[in-house]
Amino acid sequence: MKQSFTVDADTDERPPGEEPRVVILHGISLPPGRFGGPEIEQLFCNCLDWGAHPYFDEIRGLEVSAHLLIRRDGAVVQFVPFTDRAWHSGESRFRRQSRCNDYSIGIELEGEDDMPYEDAQYETLTPVLAALLLAYPAISPREIAAHSDISPGRKTDPGPAFDWLRLYDGLSGQLA
């Protein structure tokens, strides 16, 4: 893992009795196709300069957050404590239960649906997920979902370039 730091984002408490029981994987780049800038952090902290790029007019006023962002180089930024609710899933459903933000942990991977994710991202994501599986017994590898799984027809990330077999092979090595 390259580096890790925490940034404060808008958050709130989970509903009473809700604990994390699913991890949702996302893909994001801001502006689309551009990596490494401060825009993702700015978006999640509600301080994005909406006039800085023409694309930002399309998402103007969007208020979202995630628990973690894993950059292309493997660096991790934590925005929201795992015990709190982040706003990453929108209208969503996992195994017939709606409101995924209430009971999920959202991990954003800096990337694009059709562009391979970096080795460093898998090298960071795998131990992060292994730690979450140990910390939250309700989460197993079967409770790791794509944003596209919980919001079909509305979302496509992390996309076909995300290597699920590589993730599961790495997790089985971490959990052995």
Phi-psi region at 107: left, alpha or beta (left = phi > 0; alpha = psi -120 to 50): beta
Q: Given the DSSP bridges, would you call strands 144-146 and 22-28 parallel, antiparallel or unpaired? A: parallel
The C-alpha atoms of residue 83 and residue 86 are separated, in whole angstroms, by 9
**Residue among 112, 120, 148, 125 at smallest CA distance from 69:** 125
Structural domain for 70, as ranges:
4-175
Residue 78 has pLDDT above 70, yes or no: yes
- Tell me which of 108, 110, 112, 143 is the catalytic residue: 108
**Residue among 55, 68, 56, 57 at smallest CA distance from 125:** 68
pTM above 0.75, yes or no: yes
Active site includes 123? Answer: no
Alpha-carbon separation of residue 123 from 10, 41, 47, 67, 110 (angstroms): 28, 21, 30, 18, 14
pLDDT digits (tens, 9 = 90+) for 112-169: 999 999 999 999 999 999 999 999 999 999 999 999 999 999 999 999 999 999 999 9
The domain total for the chain is: 1
**CATH code for the domain of 91:** 3.40.80.10
Residue 175 has pLDDT above 80, yes or no: yes
Percent of the chain predicted with pLDDT > 70: 94
The C-alpha atoms of residue 142 and residue 162 are separated, in whole angstroms, by 16
Least confident range of 5-9, 106-110, 145-149: 5-9
Cβ–Cβ under 8 Å, residues 117 and 163: yes
